[in-house]
Amino acid sequence: MAPTLATAFSRRWWMAVTAVIENLLFSAVLLGWGSLLIMLKSEGFYSYLCKGPDNSSSLNISNTSTSEEPAEEYLEQNGWPICNDQDEMLNLAFTVGSFLLSAITLPLGIVMDKYGPRKLRLLGSACFAFSCLLIAYGASDPNNLSMLIFFALAMNGFGGMCMTFTSLTLPNMFGDLRSTFIALMIGSYASSAVTFPGIKVIYDLGATFIIILLVWAACACLVFFNCFVNWPLEPFPGPEDMDFTVKIKFSWLGFDHKITGKQFYRQVTTVGRRLSVGNSIKREHQPHKDLATQEANKLCLSTVDLEVKSKDKEETQSFMKSVLSPIFLLSLITMCVTQLRLIFYMGAMNTILESLTEGNLGTVSVYTSIFGVLQLLCLVTSPVIGYVMDWKLKDCEDENDKITKREPGEPRRPDKLIQKIINATRAFIFTNLLLVGFGVVCLIPNLPLQILSFILHTIVRGFIHSAVGGLYAAVYPSSQFGSLTGMQSLISALFALLQQPLFMAMVGPLEKDPLWVNVGLLALSMLGFCLPFYLLCHSRYLQRLRDERDEDPKIYVKMNNESKPEAFV
């Protein structure tokens, strides 16, 4: 039996803490690809593509061209041969998995906005456990079952994104701290890249790869059980609409759904007023009926009777209007560029390190482990952007304060929407500066300097997702958050597929030299400044409109319980 929203609200801290831990261990673990790649090579995945010491391969039909091409150096890892063909095939599997990690968010967002996060989280944990079993089965006979890695990584990406995406709805239960908690969830998602490096440490200590995966699958079953016990069926409404401390269902008043907080207060107040006056405006031309015999649903709130001020954002802004808004379109450009930059570096990192170390696999393994450990920085850095997004929001004027009479000479408090946009502007400027700095560091072929690129890569990855999530939560209706985030992730994932041809160009014509690829990506990164520039102009435009309204106040008419209207300035 699924818990109610009120029960879930009472357990919100437990759910938040476990969601962070579950994101760390089960969400975007595929981002720790460098360590997984080493383990897959050590287990012999696609090793049959490599040539043996006698420069022959089971896939070679003719040796007529081998004398004209430089022979590739024969290398082994854990007794299995390794080569460029193997790297390209495994990188293709990573591309498929990382694509699903982002692309699947659009249908997930649509489903979650309508049906809530519970079912998706249950499905995601089951898919993740199944992906672990597939990898373990493939490792039992890599010469014949290497192809399973494609299906396993696809399931891993899908299950991980279900875990991540559903956890982004939890911050709705934390009011004005929503952006901070969104950043914390995204930080744990980004830090999940540390999981495979951690598993690699256990693997290096002598644990069997198959046993590790079986234990991991069993742990994913615990996530399934936790979700089954604690997560409600209903979606989590936004904090601007709901107060989870009040929850009731009045079927005799015609409410066909469960309501809470402010919606409860507004609807019940309207019903009470109608009961007190006897007849509503909509029924004034109908024959008189006794109140006791009237249909209950006709006593309930109607959009005709709502004041303009009380309309929710969900009722006044369509989904297509949100999609076609400049803020969303510019955020797409920013995310596409940033995703391509980050995904290419993760996919090509081992190859770049091999070229810098002249094929020293031991050094490559050490640096890969360092990269994995640094992913924990996301847990620390991502909430920083969340704090920036929530900066001074408690001191701002909300909807209720706009109709409150101010004392003469009292300064007006800042508008909350304008403050949110200003905060987002600062967050995106800072994030894009770090992205450009990361691109500059990548241009320098120095091995110790790669640690700085690891740090910048980790910070940017946590910042950009937190900033975009906070921006969508601040600007768009909460009922559209999942769909908008999903569409953004799908489009940026499609754009990030360019990393595969870029990788093949680097290992092929460019002979493992990433210089010109990095130069092109650095130039492309400059497009990320379009969004904060627009946000800056938009916030000034909104502030100018607000100042004009203050200088030229208008008369508003408000209907009270009395028969005559009340005019106020």
User: Using an 8 Å Cβ cutoff, are 194 and 375 in contact?
Assistant: yes
Whole-number pLDDT of residue 56:
46
Q: Which of 34, 70, 76, 30 is nearest to 190 (CA)?
A: 30
Distances (CA, A) of 189 to 186, 392, 455, 456: 5, 26, 16, 17
Distances (CA, A) of 184 to 12, 15, 241, 381: 14, 13, 22, 9
Retrieve residue 302's tokens: 């109607």
Q: How many Å apart are CA 371 and CA 382, to the nearest integer?
A: 17
Residue ranges of E strands in 151-216: none
148 phi/psi in degrees, rounded to 5:
-65, -20
Mean pLDDT by 10 residues, the chain (569 residues): 80 89 88 85 88 53 41 70 84 82 74 80 92 92 90 89 84 74 79 86 90 93 91 73 45 41 45 45 46 44 39 58 90 92 86 83 84 80 76 67 56 76 89 93 89 90 82 81 81 86 85 86 92 91 81 49 45
Helices assigned H by DSSP within 70-104: 84-103
